[in-house]
């Protein structure tokens, strides 16, 4: 079965979300590889190095980003990420337990990078909607 993207990145400190998201991607044959980082600092350091040294195919096409994490939260990651200017378009979905309208507004203010704001728990139906939307946009 055709994979829709080569690499997806999960940046989240919740092992249950990571496990579930990986299973959903596997069932949907959505990607070949899933990179997992448990905080924004670990992710920004690894992704920066990957963008400097790795092939374009190793750079994720999609990032699922939590906002509330230790060491560096999702906001810190977003601020650092926009400074590194990746060589290809990377879509970020905020996936968080925050129902704050201020957080939603702030996240969607990163309109160049953030595609959507998704509240946890993310259902299989919602994850499949994200996959389908991504597939349609990539086909265009």
Predicted confidence (pLDDT) per residue in 121-132, tens digit? 888 888 888 888
For the chain, the distance separating the N- and C-terminal CA atoms, rounded to the nearest angstrom, is 20
What are the residue ranges of helices labelled H in the chain? 15-27, 40-53, 74-84, 101-108, 124-139
What are the residue ranges of helices labelled H in 28-88? 40-53, 74-84
Top-confidence residue, 26 or 54: 26
Other beta carbons within 10 Å of 22:
15
Quote the pTM value.
0.92
Task: Please give the pLDDT value at position 21.
Answer: 92
Tell me the pLDDT tens digit for each residue of 64-98: 999 999 999 999 999 999 998 777 889 999 999 99
Decide: helix, strand or coil at residue 98: coil
């Amino acid at each position: 079965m055709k994979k829709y993207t080569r690499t997806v990145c999960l940046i989240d400190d919740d092992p249950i979300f990571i496990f579930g998201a990986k299973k959903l991607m596997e069932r949907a044959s959505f990607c070949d590889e899933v990179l997992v980082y448990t905080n924004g600092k670990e992710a920004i350091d690894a992704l920066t190095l990957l963008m400097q040294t790795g092939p374009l195919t190793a750079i994720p096409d999609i990032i699922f980003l939590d906002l509330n994490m230790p060491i560096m939260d999702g906001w810190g990651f977003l601020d650092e990420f926009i400074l590194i200017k990746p060589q290809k378009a990377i879509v970020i979905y905020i996936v968080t337990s925050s129902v704050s309208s201020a957080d939603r507004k702030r996240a969607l203010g990163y309109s160049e990078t953030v595609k959507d704001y998704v509240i946890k728990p993310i259902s299989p139906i919602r994850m499949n909607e994200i996959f389908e939307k991504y597939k349609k946009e990539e086909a265009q």
